[in-house]
Amino acid sequence: MAISPVALSAYQNALASAGRIDSRVSESLARPAKSGESFLETLSGSIEKVNAMENKKADMIQAFATGETQNVHELMIHLQKAGLAMSLTTAVRGKVLETYRDLVKMQF
């Protein structure tokens, strides 16, 4: 059974993409944290990014529905990214609220 050139090309592209992601993560971990950046600023920036992803998702869905674009693959990839970002944001919100409730229950 021979491997088609399209499948081989897709596999090579996926490997290259994984390598780029791995190098970005390594660079991010090696970079020291910005001094002076508060938790609020970090959280606000992250929420803005998630909001931008949700807005782009809505725009891409509308463009696909109206026939402006036919790229189903990019649409599905972006839908998954936006969904994952929203799920992670919801999980962080839940943990923050849980921690807040624990702090409120503490007696000093």
Mean pLDDT of 16-22: 79
Whole-angstrom distance, CA of residue 9 vs CA of residue 41: 41
**pLDDT computed for residue 35 by the predictor:** 67
SS3 string, 48-59, reads: HHHHHHHHHHHH
> What are the tens digits of pLDDT across the range 39-98?
889 889 999 999 999 999 999 999 999 999 888 999 999 999 999 999 999 999 999 999
**pLDDT computed for residue 7 by the predictor:** 73
